[in-house]
Amino acid sequence: MLFYIFIFFIPVAVWLILQIVSKRNGEEQKQPLLEVCSLCHEEFPTDELLEKEVGEYSRVYCFCGNCIDKLYHEYHAKTEGEGVLGDREKEAESGEHPLT
Ligand SMILES: [Zn+2]
């Protein structure tokens, strides 16, 4: 009787262990490494962030696409918004909003 119990339980135990191990590996692969954006402090997968060395101590900061986009538009609003109205009018005519 004990023999049959062993025969039955050993494959089941091995199968369970394999299931648990493969599940863990799958979860690790699914979860990408998250990093916090230095500007908006939201978490993003590292492959969606741009890493830049900043300052004398070469600290690496991460920036997300949204923040880079905002900076880009802020910069253009500042440099072009003062004198050149032609581009603004063109944007209004084509229906593209610069901040979206
Ligand atoms: Zn951000």
Tell me 85's DSSP state: -
Q: Ligand 1 mean position to 49 CA, how many Å?
A: 9
Residues whose CB is less than 8 angstroms from the CB of residue 36 and which lie 6 or more positions away in sequence, other chains included:
42, 43, 44, 62
* pLDDT score for 96: 55
Q: Ligand 1 mean position to 43 CA, how many Å?
A: 8
Query: β-strand 43-45 against 34-36: which pairing, if any?
Result: antiparallel
Residues whose CB is less than 8 angstroms from the CB of residue 47 and which lie 6 or more positions away in sequence, other chains included:
32
Q: Ligand 1 mean position to 16 CA, how many Å?
A: 42
* pLDDT score for 29: 64
Tens-digit pLDDT profile for residues 25-71: 776 666 678 999 999 999 999 999 999 998 888 889 999 999 999 99
Mean pLDDT estimate for the chain: 80
